[in-house]
Amino acid sequence: DAKTTQPTSMDCAEGRAANLPCNHSTISGNEYVYWYRQIHSQGPQYIIHGLKNNETNEMASLIITEDRKSSTLILPHATLRDTAVYYCIVRVAGTSGTYKYIFGTGTRLKVLA
Amino acid sequence: DGGITQSPKYLFRKEGQNVTLSCEQNLNHDAMYWYRQDPGQGLRLIYYSQIVNDFQKGDIAEGYSVSREKKESFPLTVTSAQKNPTAFYLCASSTGLAGTYEKEQYFGPGTRLTVT
């Protein structure tokens, strides 16, 4: 199964862009990269996902390198409410046509006032 | 409102007792998942199910059991064989159909289990 590697923690000034890197060097060609975030003691919240192309939605942008071995989540204007643990996840094929999500340990992002 | 419910939010049990955590969804999702989270750690997959009456072991299935008798429900039993059951348990669901485009997993609020 593909594994992801993320920095343990990062700080970002409020109003600045937060760039969260993720390494997934063993990813296979048909495995998607997902990003979720988790605020303390709550269920994770979906942010964005992609396969090959860069993606953007109302929350964030996802930049995937051409070789797909790494990606970066960009929060364009971080606010204090963006303080959370951010997980970079690879969705892999399980048994009998199922899918499962492989979570890493995440990056604890702290947005500073 | 559509979503996933887990109850209770906090659960306390004595060591040696089996305990069942509930997970219900009204999203009409085919796939459901159970994760365990320990303090300061990421999520680890316990079991997952693609369809009714079928489920697969995740990375840490030992000491746990599940059933999937209804599409809406995927209860998790933490048995006395689980050596360190105290943790935060999260249930999730997704459309999960093989070969189809899937946007995301939806997570429940979690159950914090404490075994003493």
| A44-94 pLDDT per residue, tens | 999 999 999 899 999 999 999 999 999 999 999 999 999 999 999 988 877
- Are A99 and B42 an interchain contact pair (Cβ–Cβ within 8 Å)? no
pLDDT band at A28 (very low <50, low <70, confident <90, very high): confident
- Are B56 and A94 an interchain contact pair (Cβ–Cβ within 8 Å)? yes
pLDDT of amino acid B103? 63
Which residues in B lie closer than 8 A to residue A91 (C-beta atoms)?
102
Q: Which residues contact A23 (CB under 8 A, 6 or more apart)?
A: A4, A5, A6, A69, A70
Give the range among A97-106, B72-81, B93-102 with minimum mean pLDDT.
B93-102
- By Cβ distance, the residue of A44, A98, A102 closest to B31 is A98
CA distance A62 to A84: 17
- For residues B75-82, give the mean pLDDT: 93
How many angstroms away from the CA of A98 is the closest CA of chain B?
Answer: 6
Taking alpha carbons only, the member of B112, B113, B100, B106 closest to residue B29 is: B106
Q: Which DSSP letter does residue B9 get?
A: S
pLDDT of amino acid A102? 84
Inform me whether the C-beta atom of residue B45 falls under 8 Å from chain A C-beta atoms: yes
Which residues in B lie closer than 8 A to residue A98 (C-beta atoms)?
31, 48, 50, 56, 96, 98
- Looking only at the bridges linking them, the beta strands covering B111-115 and B10-13 are parallel
Backbone angles phi, psi at A15, to 5 degrees: 90, -15
- Are B58 and A106 an interchain contact pair (Cβ–Cβ within 8 Å)? no
Backbone angles phi, psi at B48, to 5 degrees: -145, 155
Q: Are B111 and B9 in contact (CB under 8 A)?
A: yes
| A112 has a pLDDT exceeding 70 | yes
CA distance B92 to B83: 24
CA B69 to chain centre: 14
| A3 has a pLDDT exceeding 60 | yes
- By Cβ distance, the residue of A46, A98, A104 closest to B42 is A104
Structure tokens at B47: 């079991």
Average pLDDT value for chain A: 91
